[in-house]
Structure 1
Amino acid sequence: MPKYLVHFAQVHNEFRIPELQSIAELHGFQVQIVENPGGHGSDPNRPFMVLQLDDEKHAKILAQRCILIKAIYEFYAQGTTYAELHQQNQLPEIRVEWQKYVEDTTFKFFVTGYNHKIPQRRQREVIESFSYMGFLGKIDMKNPEISLICFEEYDEDRKLATRAKHEGDSQFKQVYFGKLLAESSARPLVGVFDVKKRKYFGNTSMEAEVSLLMANQTMASPGKLMYDPFMGTGSMAYPVAHFGALVFGSDIDGRQMRGKQGVEGEPGVMRAAKQYGVQNRILDLATFDITHNPWRTGGMFDAIITDPPYGVRAGAKRLGRKRELSERQKELCRLHRENPRPDDTPYIPPTKPYELSHLVEDLVLFARYVLRPNGRLVFFLPTVTDEYEEVDINTMLCEGMEVIANSLQDFGAWGRRLITIRKTTAEEYPPPAFRERDQQPNEDGVEPTEQDKHVPAHKDFREKYFQGFSKDKAMAPTSLPPVPK
């Protein structure tokens, strides 16, 4: 199988392999990661990775769709020294790859370093060391037919130390050599969907790069139907629609989707969709609570993509009252229903807090009902770093659903995990009955399950966040500051 060198952007390192695998699955091919000497081939923190693919067109597909890829190269050789690299580059099976360009191909040759600036003098020395390749074509630095490149990878921690210019030059960890195949056409989308340039956004809007990564995890493509049950300002809908999918959105609070409507009374989400030319792919927007949803049939959606509210900027809510009405209040409500006033304002149903661990369990049950077989649920889950365990994710699963990716965006004391869950069953399930969890265990006569017994790190996340993740403070009830709006 041909080998290809991938150059990654140095962000969201844990998201790289899941994104590669999702795009490969979408287009029906497999990606095999080649182990570097020392077994570091699949290390997601390194900027370079060597892949085996069946066809060159598969490499170009990855460059066209993967947000975290900067460029892909036809891979020739690598080594911990240039002597090792040259020896590998002159092997018969490698030589035949570059010899076809020797006779009359215009070319450019450059040398660059990761975490290090290579002096021009040594760049020339490196280029001259490849003289055995004997290229006869003209050098063209502006529009060459092929571009050859050497990447020298230096230790990550070198950038933290104060050192003299070019100190440690040539003391690289690994050097790679290859021919440019395709620069990323997906990475510029980060600028296209920049939230600061968007016509409608809010303080809970997801940053562009992450929403694009989430869209790739759903394997969005033309002909697919996606759903965001916590739509908000629509950050996930725009990249999904850009990749060709149709989107339906809902939220318990319709004001987030509407925003301050313009002269034509158009919702904010649709105004932003027009900005990106995807308004025809936003099917509709609706206001309802997913625990009281209108879906009367399941198996409709190819994916659910969402960022559930977890209480840092906006708390999750569900329909219901925080306290039961007194008998007197119930009687007044009954009388009001029987004798409504003609000038009365519309009824706004009351809401109550929706604890995060309960929300995600219900979300998985809901996804199993509305997703098609092999459909995906993609969402962010905040967790406390010191308390997180792998079993935390399993507490939210139900029969017929499995986790296929779990990537951490680390913020220090806490982080948020991009969870991808796949529906593995073709069985049709009835609409889920979202149980109330306000009462103590066994009060409703139901024995606690294993999920109820385990306390995941994301339980009561809002309280832990505002208490600074202190275990001592978490044990004692305290008054919380107001949630930022």
Structure 2
Amino acid sequence: MPQFLFHFAQAHNDFRLPELESIAELLGISLSWPSEFEYRDTARPFMILGLDQEEHARLLARRCILIKAVYEFYAQGSTYEELHGSNRRNQTLWKRYVENTSFRFLVTSSQHKIPQMRQREVIESFAYMGFLGKIDMKNPEIILTCFEEYDDRHGTTRAKHEGDGQFREVFFGRLLEEGSARQLIAKFDVKKRAYFGNTSMEAEISLLMANQTQASPGKLIYDPFIGTGSMSYPTSHFGAFVIGSDIDGRQMRGKQKTPGVIRAANQYGTAARIIDLATFDITRNPWRCGELFDSIVTDPPYGVRAGAKRLGRKKELPDYKKDLCLQHTLNGRPDDQPYIPPTKPYELSHLAADLVLLARYLLKPNGRLVFFLPTVTDEYEEVDIHTMLCEGMEVIANSLQDFGSWGRRLVTIKKTTQGKYSPPTFEPTREETARIPAHRDFREKYFQGFKPKADET
């Protein structure tokens, strides 16, 4: 199987492999992972993967947000002697370009700036390749690139070229495609959006979530906590149709006549793919048949800037007040104002478990639920994610965005069953597990500074 060198952006490293696997599955691409575990280290910017054909590498670079570029892989080594030895053994890969191909050599690195003089020395060390074509610095037919990988030295003070040449490993290959999908981060920048709020998801993360849903033309995707629509724009950009709902219709509408979500979708040219927006509580939802959606993607409110709510009251009303509320609901209030039903807090661990139940009912077989779950770093254990699962639902990815004392996990759950299920009842009585998950009562823990109550003064 031909090998290709992938150069990844040094951002959201934990999201890299789940995104790559999701897009490869969507496009029907077979991936051959490196045999040595060291080369699957997501902290490193480079990875060598086997693919059936060159076109597959190009397709991945055009869709994966975290891919900066992809190369036909020629050689690697811990020293240049090793690199050149490997490159000579693989001359069948590059000798077809020797006779009459314009080319350009680049020498670059990660976490380091290489002096121009040494760049020239490195380029001259490849003279044995004997390229006879024209050197073209602007429009070459091929670009040959040599990468030096240095350890991350952020936060340390050093001279300009200190440690030059003390690289961890060096790679060599031919550029196939630069990662064009990363340009979408600027396109969906929240600051440039026609409509956004203080809880709008940042562009790069929303694009990663869209890739986890495997959004593509013809798919139907649902966001049950759509808010200002952050997830609807990238998923509709990739061709999917979107339906959104929220318990607070003001978040979707904004203050103008045209709903804010639609105005922003118009900005991106995808308003025709926003099928509808609805206002309701997911525990009192109007869905009367299941297996409607290919994916569900959402960022549930967890209380830092906006708490989750559901219909109901914290305290039960006396019977005469219940009758009065019922009359107002059916006939309208005497002062001609609409009756607004009361809401109560929706505890995050209950919301997450209910969301999985709803997804099992609404998703087609093999459909995906993609959502963020905040967790307390010191309390988190892998089992916490599994406390919310139900029969027929399986976790296939769990990526951490680390903020120090807490983090939020992008959880991808797949519906693995072909069985049909009745609509969930969202009963308030629940079976309590022996372990309290790290996302239970997250809002209270956040405002306490994640300190145990015993430490409070």
The alignment's TM-score, normalised by the length of structure 1, stands at 0.92
Q: Which residue of 1 aligns with 2:17?
A: 17
SS in 2 for 1:6: strand
Q: 1:79 to 1:339 in 2, by over 3 A?
A: closer
Q: Which residue of 1 aligns with 2:32?
A: 32
Measured in 1, the distance between the counterparts of 2:76 and 2:334 equals 80
SS in 2 for 1:399: coil
Mapping for residues 265-304 of structure 1, pairs under 5 Å: 265-304=257-296
Measured in 1, the distance between the counterparts of 2:22 and 2:415 equals 15
Q: Which residue of 1 aligns with 2:183?
A: 188
1:179 aligns with 2:179: no
Q: 1:338 to 1:354 in 2, by over 3 A?
A: closer
1:162 aligns with 2:157: yes
Q: Which residue of 1 aligns with 2:443?
A: 462
Measured in 2, the distance between the counterparts of 1:88 and 1:436 equals 64
Q: Which residue of 2 aligns with 1:96?
A: 92
Q: For residue 73 of structure 1, what is the amino acid of its counterpart? A: Y
Mapping for residues 139-288 of structure 1, pairs under 5 Å: 139-156=135-152, 158-261=153-256, 265-288=257-280
Q: 1:336 to 1:125 in 2, by over 3 A?
A: closer
SS in 1 for 2:182: coil
Quote how far apart the aligned CAs of 1:334 are: 5.6
Contact 2:262 2:271 in 1 (8 A): yes
Quote how far apart the aligned CAs of 1:124 are: 1.0
Q: Which residue of 1 aligns with 2:375?
A: 383
Quote how far apart the aligned CAs of 1:337 are: 6.5
Q: 1:341 to 1:329 in 2, by over 3 A?
A: closer
Q: For residue 228 of structure 2, what is the amino acid of its counterpart? A: T
Measured in 2, the distance between the counterparts of 1:394 and 1:216 equals 23
Measured in 1, the distance between the counterparts of 2:331 and 2:134 equals 90
The structure 2 residue matched to 1:58, chosen from 56, 59, 67, is 56
Q: 1:340 to 1:268 in 2, by over 3 A?
A: closer
Question: Gaps (5+ residues) in structure 1?
Answer: 438-447, 479-485
Q: For residue 108 of structure 2, what is the amino acid of its counterpart? A: T
Quote how far apart the aligned CAs of 1:62 are: 0.6
Contact 1:357 1:460 in 2 (8 A): yes
Aligned length: 457
Contact 2:328 2:339 in 1 (8 A): no
Measured in 2, the distance between the counterparts of 1:323 and 1:232 equals 27
Q: For residue 161 of structure 1, what is the amino acid of its counterpart? A: T
Measured in 2, the distance between the counterparts of 1:155 and 1:340 equals 68
Q: For residue 96 of structure 1, what is the amino acid of its counterpart? A: T
User: For residues 425-444 of structure 1, what are the alpha-carbon distances to aligned partners after superposition, in whole Å with 9 as ceiling and x for unaligned?
Assistant: 1101000010114xxxxxxx
SS in 2 for 1:286: strand
Q: Which residue of 2 aligns with 1:77?
A: 75
Measured in 2, the distance between the counterparts of 1:324 and 1:83 equals 78
Question: Gaps (5+ residues) in structure 2?
Answer: none
Mapping for residues 412-423 of structure 1, pairs under 5 Å: 412-423=404-415
SS in 2 for 1:205: coil
Q: 1:296 to 1:13 in 2, by over 3 A?
A: same
Quote how far apart the aligned CAs of 1:119 are: 0.9
Backbone CA RMSD of aligned residues: 1.5
The alignment's TM-score, normalised by the length of structure 2, stands at 0.97
Measured in 1, the distance between the counterparts of 2:331 and 2:102 equals 86
SS in 1 for 2:20: helix
Q: Which residue of 2 aligns with 1:442?
A: none
Decide which moves more: 335-344 or 304-313: 335-344
Contact 2:76 2:82 in 1 (8 A): yes
Measured in 2, the distance between the counterparts of 1:299 and 1:21 equals 24
Q: 1:127 to 1:286 in 2, by over 3 A?
A: same
